[in-house]
């Protein structure tokens, strides 16, 4: 087996291996790039309402009463008193801020975006641990994919011809933006 054949084999098989994760990073990359316009991992909904005054209700019945009035039956996480006469109730997927006197309520509901939550979870390296090493391996794989890709073709279409021009164009794009913004 000559080195070109080996190069092609490595390039082809790495391409197959890296395909899944590359698509994950592509989708997440675009989603995360526009983080100033939206939350790429969660769908957020803000609901303002009035659930009526809660004065006169005993402390132990207060939280169940609030949850019942807003129609919330998910798992209670915690409770915090952010100001006198104000209570924040944390529920799985919802944060409820209530003015106990007026009954004015603000709910901030959050729901993980299907698929995007998962791809961002991996792309932003939330798992840490073993995933960090796997992501490093993937990065090395991508590097090898790029290098072996340079030598797949020979002649005028290869790195000594058209390939060289395209590589130069590809390199000049980040250099241009560095010059522009740095």
- Provide the minimum distance between the beta carbon of 25 and other proteins in the complex, in angstroms, as a whole number: 14
Binding mask 45-84 for other proteins (x = CB under 8 A): -x------------------------------xx-xxxxx
The residue (of 7 and 95) whose beta carbon lies closer to other proteins is 95
Instruction: Annotate 48-115 with DSSP letters as a single string.
Output: EEE----TT--HHHHHHHHHHHTT--SPEEEEEEEETTEEEEEETTEEEEEETTT-EEEEEEEEEPTT
Nearer to other proteins, 122 or 142 (CB): 122
Strand (E) or helix (H) holding 45:
strand 42-50
DSSP 37: T
41 binds other proteins (CB under 8 A): yes
Which residue number, 111 or 166, has a Cβ lying nearer to other proteins?
111
Binding mask 111-150 for other proteins (x = CB under 8 A): -x-xx-xx--xx-x-xxx----------------------
- Rounded to 5 degrees, what are φ and ψ at 88? -115, 125
d(CA 116, CA 38): 12
5 counts as binding other proteins under rule CB under 8 A = no
Task: Please identify, among the stretches 30-38, 52-60, 147-155, 174-182, the one whose residues bind other proteins according to the rule CB under 8 A.
Answer: 30-38
If one asks whether residue 90 binds other proteins (CB under 8 A), the answer comes out as yes
Tell me how far apart the alpha carbons of residues 113 and 63 are, in angstroms, rounded to a whole number: 28
CA nearest neighbour of 104 among 64, 53, 63, 57 = 53
Per CB under 8 A, residues contacting other proteins are 35-36, 38-39, 41-42, 44, 46, 77-78, 80-84, 88, 90-93, 95, 106, 108, 110, 112, 114-115, 117-118, 121-122, 124, 126-128
């Amino acid at each position: 087996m000559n080195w070109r054949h080996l190069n092609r084999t490595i390039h082809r098989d790495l391409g197959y291996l890296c395909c899944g994760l590359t698509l994950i990073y592509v989708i997440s990359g675009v989603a995360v790039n526009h983080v100033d316009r939206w939350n790429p991992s969660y769908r957020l909904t803000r609901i303002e309402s009035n659930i009526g005054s809660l004065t006169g209700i005993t402390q132990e019945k207060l939280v169940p009463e609030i949850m019942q009035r807003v129609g919330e039956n998910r798992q209670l996480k915690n409770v915090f008193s952010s100001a006198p006469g104000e209570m924040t109730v944390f529920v799985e997927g919802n944060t409820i801020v209530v003015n106990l006197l007026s009954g004015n309520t603000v709910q901030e509901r959050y729901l993980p975006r299907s698929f995007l939550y998962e791809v961002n979870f991996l792309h932003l390296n939330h798992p840490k641990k073993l995933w960090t090493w796997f992501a490093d391996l993937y990065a090395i794989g991508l590097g090898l994919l790029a290098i072996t890709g340079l030598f797949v073709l020979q002649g005028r279409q290869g790195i000594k011809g058209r390939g060289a021009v395209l590589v130069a164009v590809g390199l000049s794009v980040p250099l241009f933006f560095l010059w522009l913004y740095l």
